[in-house]
Amino acid sequence: QLQLVESGGALVQPGGSLRLSCAASGFTLDNWAIGWFRQAPGKEREGVSCISSSGDSMNYADSVKGRFTISRDNAKNMVYLQMNNLNPEDTAVYYCAAVWEPNFAICALTPHYTAWGQGTQVTVSS
């Protein structure tokens, strides 16, 4: 059974850092693009970052560029989101998602992903 499990969410002060992890089970990530999305209370889910199946291309929302870094370790079947210089506007539930896109050169921050995790809460507050 295809499953994604996020971890690493926490309460952190403004300016702090967190690393979110996404563990895949029931399938191997090699040919899948992975995206991170987030949803804040009262707001729609938005794309944060994605990485292509090849690992060669990454996309970031303008609001996180220069602060967040996505990476993948196919050998461990893991994807990570390093988040630095966090601010209260980053508070949200963060979801990882996967879509079958073998040999795709790019990834897209659109909600066409077919497998989703349950989410992990990130709260940025002093």
pLDDT digits (tens, 9 = 90+) for 90-123: 999 999 999 999 988 899 999 899 999 999 999 9
Contact status, residue 114 vs residue 95, Cβ threshold 8 Å: no
- pLDDT, residue 92, reads 98
* Backbone torsion region of residue 63, taken as left when φ is above 0, otherwise alpha when ψ lies between -120 and 50, otherwise beta: alpha
Q: How far is CA 110 from the centre of its chain?
A: 13
| pLDDT per residue as tens digits for the range 38-80 | 999 999 999 999 999 989 999 999 999 999 999 999 999 999 9
